Amino acid sequence: MAEKKKKAVAKGKKPFGGRIKKWFVNIITELKRVIWPDKKKLRQSTMTVLLIIAISVVIILVFDTVVSFIMRTTGLYSTKEQPAESLPLPNDDNVRRESNEMGQMIQALGVRVFFEG
């Protein structure tokens, strides 16, 4: 253990606690160099950011409304639910035929698969 410390000191590395202390000291000195805005400049910057956000919201809202309108009128997207009667229910013959066709396709590929259940 003592050998590791000697090697670290020989390489010029400081102990972990010393490096953390130096890091915090550097942060504090950098924050002292910062030129903080006055109230007028801060208010102006804040209003600019809020205005840009509001304009972006309006643009996205308009774009979303136009795209939704186009999709609904062309029939690509419908908010109406499909009645359950319109969907065909699988009966045993259809399921057997589809599983047999799938089995034939798998055999054509040269793969053996066993399904249980």
Alpha carbons 81 and 87: distance in angstroms, whole number: 12
In a domain, 111, yes or no: no
Provide, rounded to the nearest whole percent, the portion of the chain with pLDDT above 90: 42
What pTM does this model have?
0.45
Alpha carbons 44 and 24: distance in angstroms, whole number: 32
pLDDT digits (tens, 9 = 90+) for 19-32: 999 999 999 999 99
pLDDT of residue 13: 74
In a domain, 15, yes or no: no
**For residue 47, what are the CA distances in angstroms to 6, 41, 53, 88?**
57, 10, 10, 58
pLDDT value at 11 more than 70: no
In a domain, 98, yes or no: no
Between these two residues, 43 and 98, which has the higher pLDDT value? Answer: 43
Number of domains in the chain: 1
In a domain, 93, yes or no: no
Alpha carbons 8 and 16: distance in angstroms, whole number: 11
DSSP state of 85: G
In a domain, 26, yes or no: no
